[in-house]
Amino acid sequence: MKRARIIYNPTAGREIFKRHIAEVLQKLEMAGYETSCHATTGAGDAKKAARVAVERKYDVVICAGGDGTINEVVNGLAEQDYRPKLGVIPTGTTNDFARALQMPRDIEAAVDIITAGHTIPIDIGKMNDSYFINIAGGGRLTELTYEVPAKLKTVLGQLAYYLKGIEMLPSIRSSEVSIEYDGKLFEGEIMLFLVALTNSVGGFEKLAPDSSINDGLFTLLILKKTNLAEFIRIATLALRGEHINDPNLIYSKANHIKVKSKEKMQLNIDGEYGGLLPAEFNNLYRHLEVFVPIDDIRPEDKAE
Ligand SMILES: Nc1ncnc2c1ncn2[C@@H]1O[C@H](COP(=O)(O)OP(=O)(O)OP(=O)(O)O)[C@@H](O)[C@H]1O
């Protein structure tokens, strides 16, 4: 019999998962899974629980939570030689990763996709010693993700980021950096740099419109120094996915990226604080198998 381990964050989003556990277990049982659950207890617990699932050789790990919990689960799986298949049930405030996989927000619909059993291999990002699923980067602007109070996020969701962004705009300043990417070099003043795995990031659904989840490449975005008016213009273009050819931006694909600066710059990894520069990014090609809807499988994405 196949074995599945559910790792869920009881505090994620609007805290709805608990009410659906009986139905979720029943659906998995009917699909031939012997399933057990782990409710996370706080920061770092989902990573530990994923490691335990690896040790116990579960076939499948199902993560119910937002991007924060999935990030932790992936950090628990990514380092290991044996990696169970990953199922995602999006129950967080931010579910960029699930959206990139085209997983539905409805809990039972997401479970149906997992029990249908179609998987694709996806790339995982590594920044220094940590793994990420959506995006990493640096620059004053990326700091706003952890300046938004948790309570405000629960109530307002994405809107909270925008409100905070508007409040912070006048204080954003540039930093001098050096960025090496697949043999190319950028040196100069930037507002921010982003290293994206998926196309949908922090409410900007077209930030990296041509990104593929399993081509082994990051989308690198470097926003050069701009004034406030230019910055707002580019952010507006980015909402529509029309920023790619703007002269203030470098938009490129790369597998390996190194960023350093003489200044102190904070890093952000999947929306959380990720330490300080320097940073080295590696794209781990098709590192995890994840469940996706059948119509999400393009011929080139199929498991090898
Ligand atoms: N039992 C718990 N109590 C409080 N916090 C928890 C608990 N379990 C996990 N967490 C923390 O909650 C964080 C956010 O969770 P997650 O991303 O799943 O939900 P979310 O609602 O999308 O939250 P956010 O948008 O604020 O990141 C996790 O990174 C983890 O550190």
Contact 87 CB / ligand 1 (< 6 Å)? no
Do the beta carbons of residue 246 and residue 233 sit within 8 Å?
no
Nearest to 290 by CA among 213, 221, 237: 213
The pLDDT value given to residue 200: 66
The H or E element containing residue 273 is strand 272-276
* Pair type for strands 184-196 and 135-138: antiparallel
Contact 156 CB / ligand 1 (< 6 Å)? no
Q: What is the 3-state secondary structure (H, E, C) of 5-30?
A: EEEECCCCCCCCHHHHHHHHHHHHHH
Report how far ligand 1's centroid is from the alpha carbon of 219 (Å).
27
The pLDDT value given to residue 275: 93
The best mutation among 6, 7, 9 to test binding of ligand 1, ranked by most ligand atoms within 8 Å of the C-beta, falls on 9
- For residue range 181-208, what is the model confidence (pLDDT) as tens digits? 999 999 999 988 999 998 867 667 788 8
Contact 9 CB / ligand 1 (< 6 Å)? yes
Atom 30, ligand 1: residue with shortest CA distance: 43
- For residue range 252-303, what is the model confidence (pLDDT) as tens digits? 999 999 999 999 998 989 888 899 999 999 999 999 999 999 875 555 555 5
* Regions of the chain short of the pLDDT cut 70: 141-171, 200, 202-203, 296-304
29 classed as catalytic: no
| Spatial distance between the Cα atoms of 52 and 106, rounded to a whole number of angstroms | 28
Which domains does the chain possess? 2-117 (3.40.50.10330), 131-285 (2.60.200.40)
Cα four-point dihedral sign 257, 258, 261, 265: positive
Phi, psi of 184, deg, nearest 5: -100, 160
Atom 6, ligand 1: residue with shortest CA distance: 42
The pLDDT value given to residue 129: 97
| Spatial distance between the Cα atoms of 208 and 211, rounded to a whole number of angstroms | 6
Contact 149 CB / ligand 1 (< 6 Å)? no
Contact 142 CB / ligand 1 (< 6 Å)? no
ipTM of this complex > 0.85? yes
Atom 27, ligand 1: residue with shortest CA distance: 68
The pLDDT value given to residue 304: 47
Cα–Cα–Cα angle for 122, 124, 127, nearest 5°? 170
The pLDDT value given to residue 154: 57
| Spatial distance between the Cα atoms of 165 and 236, rounded to a whole number of angstroms | 13
Which residue bears the tokens 């706003």? Answer: 144
DSSP per-residue letters across 85-145: EEEEEE-SS--HHHHHTT--SSHHHHHHHHHHT-EEEEEEEEETTEEESSEEEESGGGGGG
Contact 303 CB / ligand 1 (< 6 Å)? no
